[in-house]
Structure 1
Amino acid sequence: MNAISKGVFAVMFATLAAAGTVRAADGKLSIMVGGATKIIYLPARLTEQLGYFKEEGLDVEILSQPAGVDAENELLAGAVQGVVGFYDHTIDLQSKGKEVEAVVVFG
């Protein structure tokens, strides 16, 4: 991966982490995905495994639930500080009065 791609990943996830509500008590940021083995979540997993979070001074843990709706429930319960999923979850939650924000959209 070239330096530009590496920088893009780091900036995307640094932005996502900074937008999280509050870090966990141990300082770790937990990000939930709706199925960590799915190819659509590869950017999140690669960023973690290649050490880009750590390079940005972030202690991030990628967690997995079977589906996106389960991930959003963890976010609403305060169990995680961020979710990687499809943007339509953000729209759905906003229509239900939940204050969530899409920070990064993968294209």
Structure 2
Amino acid sequence: MKKNYPRNMIGYGSKTPSIKWPNSAKLALQIVLNYEEGSENCVLHGDKTSETFLSEIIGAQPIKGRHINMESFYEFGSRRGFWRLHELFQEKKIPITIFGVGMALERNKDVCDAMKKA
């Protein structure tokens, strides 16, 4: 094993620092939303097959054409799923982090604008 491994895999170890959070909070929570809708593997994007890995369909097999079920899963996220979460987080004033795929954001300007405005 290399001694000069460039990553810190130990951190504080058993010596956890005493942290005082604002308002005596007991928990710090970070919410991250992955926005990928419209960037999945799809023949419309020039991919050889449809998405198989990031799916609710366990064991999905590649299709050399459009996979309407797969496309529907992703389309729900951009058409309604994002907006439900966005409205909730805005209403509750909960800040979140977006891990957005560029191609997905290019395909839905309204979603991108809402993310930037929030």
The TM tier, using the shorter chain, reads under 0.3
Greater share of residues in strand: 1
Larger gyration radius, structure 1 or structure 2 = 2
TM-score by length of 2: 0.25
TM-score by length of 1: 0.27
Q: Which has the higher contact order (CA 8 A, sep 6+)?
A: 1
Greater share of residues in helix: 1
